[in-house]
């Protein structure tokens, strides 16, 4: 006659396997929840005074197909004219300074394949620069 397994041993094994399955589960194919949470956090961040004078937040939007959150900022005409006179790397560096710092909670919300892109444009819509914040933080 074969001995019966102990119920607590079986329960412990099932719970351990469930914990491993949850910990190593692949991310959702759309990854939508993290992007939506990041969008909400970035709205708070930029409306809380993270932009310099002459800059305003136009929109924070999720681009699901690219796994990105786009932050569109607009520059007042005077600020845009002053920025447009600089060389292209200086414009990109100025826009990169608008990215949330690495210590911001938004980076813990996003998964490694998800990005934040800050795009600066004039009031008329002419794009001056677009910066990938994860790449700029390196």
Structure letter (DSSP) for residue 25: P
- pTM for the full model? 0.73
Q: Which residues of 10-22 are buried (b: 16+ CB within 10 A; e: fewer)?
A: eeeeeeeeeeeee
Lowest-pLDDT choice from 8-12, 21-25, 131-135: 21-25
Question: Distance between CA 93 and CA 26 in Å, rounded?
Answer: 35
Could you read off the pLDDT of 60-82 as tens digits, one per residue? 999 977 889 999 999 988 888 88
Dump the DSSP string for 43-75: HHHHHTT-SPTTEEEEEEEEEGGGTEEEEEEEE
Which residue, 123, 117, 74, is CA-closest to 99? 117
Mention the CATH class of domain 29-137: alpha beta
User: CA 31: distance to chain centroid?
Assistant: 12
Per-domain residue ranges of the chain: 29-137
- Report yes or no: 100 and 116 within 8 Å, Cβ to Cβ: yes
Could you read off the pLDDT of 86-110 as tens digits, one per residue? 998 999 999 999 999 999 999 999 9
């Amino acid at each position: 006659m074969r001995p019966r397994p102990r119920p607590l041993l079986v329960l412990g094994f099932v719970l351990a396997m469930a914990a491993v399955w949850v910990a190593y589960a692949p991310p959702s194919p759309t990854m939508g929840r993290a992007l939506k949470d990041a969008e909400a956090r970035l709205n708070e961040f930029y409306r809380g005074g993270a932009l310099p004078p002459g800059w305003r937040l136009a929109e924070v939007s999720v681009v699901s197909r690219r796994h990105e959150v786009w932050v569109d900022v607009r520059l007042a005409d005077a600020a845009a004219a002053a920025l447009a006179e600089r060389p292209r790397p200086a414009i990109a560096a100025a826009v990169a300074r608008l990215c949330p710092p690495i210590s911001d909670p938004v980076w813990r919300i996003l998964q490694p394949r998800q990005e934040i892109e800050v795009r600066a444009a004039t009031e008329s819509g002419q794009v001056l620069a677009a910066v990938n914040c994860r790449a700029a933080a390196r």
